[in-house]
Structure 1
Amino acid sequence: MVVSNSRLLGFAAFTGVACVTGSLYCQYKIREGLKKGDYYKKSLDILKQHNAAMQLLGPPIKQGNLDLGDTVNNMVDGYRAKLAVPVLGQKQKGKLFLWAEREKPGDSWNVQKLELSLENSEFDGRRLVVYKSENNEKN
């Protein structure tokens, strides 16, 4: 059976679009799952209550999409979470670095440390410590 080149090209194009769409949907669902985590919500609440961070960023604070390819800064397992959340305020943008832990799956997450890195800032690569738990000796 002979198949024309135009028919093969159409099939290849359809398959390519389906693969890209599926990949984007999977990334969207993963990001939404991370945003629903207690560690994520608690961290953003702490950031929004930090006066210096709010003055530097400028309210309101919005969060961007996590870079799922950044496996150095973005990792979550059943016991530890480490994320670099892009944040944007009226004045400038940056990243909120968060570390959280819990004893076992099902337990509540405890935010261990939050640091804010700002773009276009006089901080020049330094980070503002937004929160550090009292029992946090590792970070």
Structure 2
Amino acid sequence: MPVSTHALQQMAIYLGIVSGGGCAAMYYLIQQTFAKSEYYKLAIEELKKNDIALDALGAPPLQIRNIKLTNRNNRVDGISARIIIPVCGNKSAGYLHTYCIRDTVQKRWFLQEAILQLLDGQHFSVFSVTKDEDQS
């Protein structure tokens, strides 16, 4: 029994909507996984403590954007996490470049470095292990 062109068009539209919705849901869930991760939270906490960086952004309010999933510089494995978090405030926007390592014994992440790079080219060291060791 032949299928009408109209029925095929409706099926194509339906499948397009379902697959598009599935892709959007997957993107949202991946972003939520990043936002709930310990290495992500550590970097954001340090940025919120740094008054100089927040002033350069014009925060508060600090707005944290979605991570670009296609950026090859974002790498996470069981031992280390290097991610670039887009952030913005009222004055400026930029990227928080972070690097964390995981202690496999304690099963905890430790922030090693966080650098805020604004779109105008300014850089701010938000956190560095060597900087904090010098202050101790």
Same fold (TM over 0.5): yes
Aligned residues: CA RMSD = 1.6
Determine the C-alpha separation between the residues in 2 that align with 1:48 and 1:58: 12
Judge conservation of contact 1:78–1:105 (CA < 8 Å) in 2: no
Determine the C-alpha separation between the residues in 2 that align with 1:46 and 1:4: 61
Secondary structure of residue in 2 paired with 1:134: helix
> Offset of 1:31 from its aligned partner?
0.8
Determine the C-alpha separation between the residues in 1 that align with 2:46 and 2:31: 20
> Offset of 1:6 from its aligned partner?
0.9
Say whether residues 1:19 and 2:15 are aligned partners.
Answer: no
Output the TM-score relative to the length of structure 2. Answer: 0.89
Q: Percent identity?
A: 30
Determine the C-alpha separation between the residues in 2 that align with 1:7 and 1:34: 41
Matched to 2:22, the amino acid is G
Say whether residues 1:83 and 2:79 are aligned partners.
Answer: no
> Offset of 1:103 from its aligned partner?
2.5
Determine the C-alpha separation between the residues in 2 that align with 1:52 and 1:115: 12
Determine the C-alpha separation between the residues in 2 that align with 1:105 and 1:40: 20
Unaligned stretches of 5+ in structure 1?
A: none
Q: Which has the higher helix share?
A: 2
Determine the C-alpha separation between the residues in 1 that align with 2:4 and 2:128: 64
Unaligned stretches of 5+ in structure 2?
A: 132-136
Judge conservation of contact 2:103–2:110 (CA < 8 Å) in 1: no
Moved over 3 A (4+): none
After superposition, give the CA deviation of every residue in 1:72-127 in whole Å (9 maximum; x if it has no partner). Answer: x21211111111101011111111011101132861100011111111x2x3xx53
Say whether residues 1:113 and 2:113 are aligned partners.
Answer: yes
Secondary structure of residue in 1 paired with 2:124: strand
Determine the C-alpha separation between the residues in 2 that align with 1:87 and 1:103: 27
User: How do 1:55-134 residues align onto structure 2 when only pairs under 5 Å count?
Assistant: 55-60=55-60, 61-71=62-72, 73-104=73-104, 107-119=107-119, 121=120, 123=121, 127-134=123-130
Report how many residues are paired: 130
Matched to 2:130, the amino acid is E
Output the TM-score relative to the length of structure 1. Answer: 0.87
Determine the C-alpha separation between the residues in 2 that align with 1:114 and 1:87: 13
